[in-house]
Structure 1
Amino acid sequence: MKNNRSLKRLWGKLRRTQSGGLQAADSDGGQFRRGGLRATAGPRLTRTPESYDPARDLNIPFSQWTKEQVCGWLEDYGLGQYVNLTRQWVEHGQTLLSATPQDFEKEMGMKNPLHRKKLHLALKAFTTKVIEKSSELDYIWVTRWLDDIGLPQYKDHFHEARVDGRMIQYLTVNDLLTLKVTSQLHHLSIKCAIHVLHVNKFNPHCLRRRPGEEKNPSPSEVVQWSNHRVMEWLRAVDLAEYAPNLRGSGVHGGLIILEPRFSSETLATQEKREYGNATGHVPLTTTAKVKPKKLGFTQFSHLRKRKPDESADYICPIDSGARTVNGVSRLPSSALRGLSPTLDRQAERQERLGIKAQANGLKE
């Protein structure tokens, strides 16, 4: 026992001695220096202040950024693996602005199509100077968002593709297939979740994760329920045994309210039952898969001429004409179609009212 105590005291002295020696080596103390002892924190700490300053970069056009500023921005934007090849190719910011997705693949070794899309959208925002609220949501937030909508199994794929808030707006069916999302139910889940973000102007805290004080929640409240909130609701209505089945299912409030084919004896409304009795109705199942669109023979000749950004087959329609009605953000009628029969009828009603208003204006 005495020997053990002696060893412990000796080990304590050694640890304190090493710590003291480490402090002595850094004699100029309190001020943090980049590229110092915290080498494990990554290459960002080795950059000198002269090479990259985000505050300064915002004051000059991207086309005038230096090579080091562009490389620093790429690293902070989540595309740091392409910095080495970029440094060999890029002279200034204009090099990237003038480049095509094919140049990104050839010169920067950017094989992942979603990385090319991410870079293309960012550069497009620099040139158009359009500020999108979704651009404030980074790819780390998107992985937490997948948890909220009940699809955590895709977090690795989304993280690897660096899908951020801006990319969510422009996701297409083929993009989701690239991200290994093949379930039709999961496609609809993401579509409805994106719609909820649109309506809430991409507020990062719009989804409700915990039960509130509402006793009889309205559809406008349920549509903001996260997957965990739906599970809590099942427990509250004595269906706790089914709550674990919702993990990884993609079921959230937006899917329950907006998708008419999502139905069950406890969740279906009368309108959904009427929709189910309609002709041509195809029931939504958990095993249905989404298949990529096949190109016809006549389309092959246009493949080289077609630009990647010309496709508008987004998983959730985008329309910049969103407006506010009675203090609530509403998407225009074109963005509401295809989500549910109720929203379709609302869209048709809005169009009819708009046509009548125009006709009355002409008469006057």
Structure 2
Amino acid sequence: MDQKSEEQSWAQPLLIQDMDDLSDAALGASNLASTSSSFSRSLIKNYFYLAWNSSLGYQTQFNDSSNLKQKRLFLDSLLASSEQFPQWSTQRIVQWLEVWLEMPAWYVAACRANIRSGAMLANLGEQELQRELGISNAMHKLKLRLGIQEMMSLSTGQMSTLDRQIFADAVRIQGELSHEWIGNQWLPSLGLAQYRPEFMECLIDGRMLTSLTKRDLRTVLRMIDHFHRKSLVYGITCLKQLNFDRFELERRREVSQTSNSGSFAFKLSLSFLDVVVWSVDRLINWLNSIGLQEWSKNLLDSGVHGAVLALDADFDVTAFCLVLRISRQDSQTRSILERELVSLLRPYRDLLTSSRDDVIANATTKS
């Protein structure tokens, strides 16, 4: 690869360079969604369709309910208004920065002092963002740009009432993935809590996840480890398949908390297929339930979570033993893990085989 090609590869979004086996995951960017293979789409769709019985749903409590209420009220007021983003006043922009984007106070103060309209804010260049608002962090600029794009699309008068409401619902759901939730809840649930300081400093929220590049992860967020980057991508894939609905994710995780592969009730329920949403804590509990308490603690900060097990066909018992630090000489423990892991993931592996066969058959027919 020449130097120019290598530089271009660094700029590819969605970490495609890290996803040899999940390059078609389509983590959210529309420019890559069309390239997703039918195999990946059908496989992941089947995972999530089979994994959830809606009759099991219930309410989950969160400690940021006050912030969420303010966000919803702001969005409701925006939808009730015919005012487009370029026409926004300084007061509305400040409210948007504070409530919706949760930007730091010094950015809000700079905006209050220097920005007179939404049009003025939207037209600021890179250097002007730093001069007028004091924004020098590249991730903070990305957050603001994505937020502006979101509001420009939402406030346009070109959509029908129904389309606008559908888009607003998507904006609301993704807007609830604040950088506080990403850093304090989501990253730890993936076994990636060690990256919390960098993610929090960069204000990484849900709308930014699918725009992160390999360079962003390595140089800005300091995620050097290849497997950890891969783990993050599988976590994003899981979120995307749930339409970035954190409440749906937590509901499904809560249901799966009480299900273990050895129980009869577990085998009768659909929740055994929901390994894909398991947090690292849930995975540790599962290891404890099969008698591997001595090794389960090694999963902490490992980046191994349910989506990795369910969606990465290459993550087998050998890879798992390596993470758990089970020696090659301990054949008994390795045998237990292999037996239980095969049983746990059989539905996913069956779908993998079935979907691959379907793709091959379709390709043969077309040729």
Matched, 1:134 2:174: yes
* Separation in structure 2 between the aligned mates of residue 346 and residue 167 of structure 1, nearest angstrom: 31
Rounded to whole Å, the distance in 1 between the matches of 2:96 and 2:128 is 18
Counterparts of 2:272 and 2:281, CA distance in 1:
17
Q: Hey, what's the Cα distance between the residues in 1 that align with 2:360 and 2:132?
A: 48
Task: Note if 1:97 corresponds to 2:122.
Answer: yes
Distance change (3 Å), C-alpha of 1:145 and 1:95 = same
Spell out, residue by residue over 1:91-150, the C-alpha distance to the aligned partner (whole angstroms, 9 max, x if none).
111112222344322321111111111111111112223443423321122121011111
Confirm or deny: 8 A CA contact 2:260 2:286 kept in the other structure: no
Q: 1:254, CA displacement in angstroms?
A: 0.8
8 Å CA contact retained: 2:283, 2:306: yes
Looking at structure 1, the residues matched to 297 and 211 of structure 2 have their Cα atoms a distance apart, in angstroms, of 32
Distance 2:201 2:360 in 1: 42
Give the TM-score taking structure 2 as reference length.
Answer: 0.56
Matched, 1:189 2:231: yes
CA distance in 1: counterparts of 2:361 and 2:212, whole angstroms: 31
Residue 65 of structure 1 is matched in structure 2 by 88
Displacement of 1:266: 8.7
Q: What's the counterpart of residue 213 of structure 1?
A: 259
In structure 2, relative to structure 1, the CA distance for the partners of 1:245 and 1:123 (3 Å cut) is: same
Shift in Å at residue 265 of structure 1? 4.2
**Residue number in structure 2 paired with 1:120:** 145
TM superposition shift of 1:184: 0.8
Matched position secondary structure for 1:192: helix
Contact 2:231 2:304 in 1 (8 A): yes
1:126-275 alignment runs, 5 A limit: 126-129=151-154, 130-131=167-168, 132=170, 133-143=173-183, 144-177=185-218, 178-205=220-247, 206=249, 208=253, 211-215=257-261, 220-265=273-318, 267=320
Q: Deviations over 1:14-69 (max 9, x none)?
A: xxxxxxxxxxxxxxxxxxxxxxxxxxxxxxxxxxxxxx976544412222221122
Q: Partners of 2:227 and 2:319 in 1: how far apart? A: 18
Larger radius of gyration: 1
Q: Is the 8 A contact 1:256 1:267 kept in 2?
A: no
Q: How many angstroms apart in 2 are the aligned matches of 1:161 and 1:347?
A: 39
Shift of 1:183: 1.0
Greater relative CO, 1 or 2 (CA 8 Å, sep 6+): 2
- On the 8 A contact 2:259/2:272 being kept in 1, the answer is no
Superposition TM-score, scaled by structure 1 size? 0.57
Residue-by-residue CA offset, 1:280-305 (whole Å, 9 max, x unaligned): xxxxxxxxxxxxxxxxxxxxxxxxxx
User: How far apart, in 1, do the equivalents of 2:213 and 2:150 lie?
Assistant: 19
Instruction: Indicate the larger mover: 258-267 or 97-106.
Output: 258-267
- In the alignment, the residues of structure 1 paired with residue 174 and residue 357 of structure 2 have an alpha-carbon distance, to the nearest angstrom, of 28
User: Structure 2: which amino acid aligns with 1:212?
Assistant: T
**Cα drift, residue 350 of structure 1:** 4.5
Distance 1:114 1:54 in 2: 24
Question: How many residues end up aligned between the 2 structures?
Answer: 236
Do the aligned residues in 2 keep the contact of 1:64 with 1:92 (CA within 8 Å)?
yes
Q: Determine the C-alpha separation between the residues in 1 that align with 2:182 and 2:84.
A: 28
CA contact (8 A) 1:67 1:91 kept: yes
- Percent of aligned positions with the same letter in both sequences? 28
What amino acid sits opposite 2:179 in the alignment? Y
- Would you tell me which structure has more helix in proportion to its own residues? 2
Give the alignment's Cα RMSD to 1 decimal: 3.3
Q: Distance in 2 between matches of 1:250 and 1:153?
A: 10
1:53/1:128 CA distance change after superposition, 3 Å: closer
C-alpha distance in 2, partners of 1:157/1:344?
Answer: 39
Letter in 1 for 2:174: S
Structure 1: stretches of 5+ with no match in the other structure: 1-51, 269-339, 360-364
Cα distance change of structure 1 residues 353 and 171 upon mapping to structure 2, 3 Å threshold: same
Separation of aligned partners in 2, 1:267 and 1:56: 50
CA distance in 1, matches of 2:298, 2:123: 50
Q: 3-state DSSP class of the match of 1:111?
A: coil
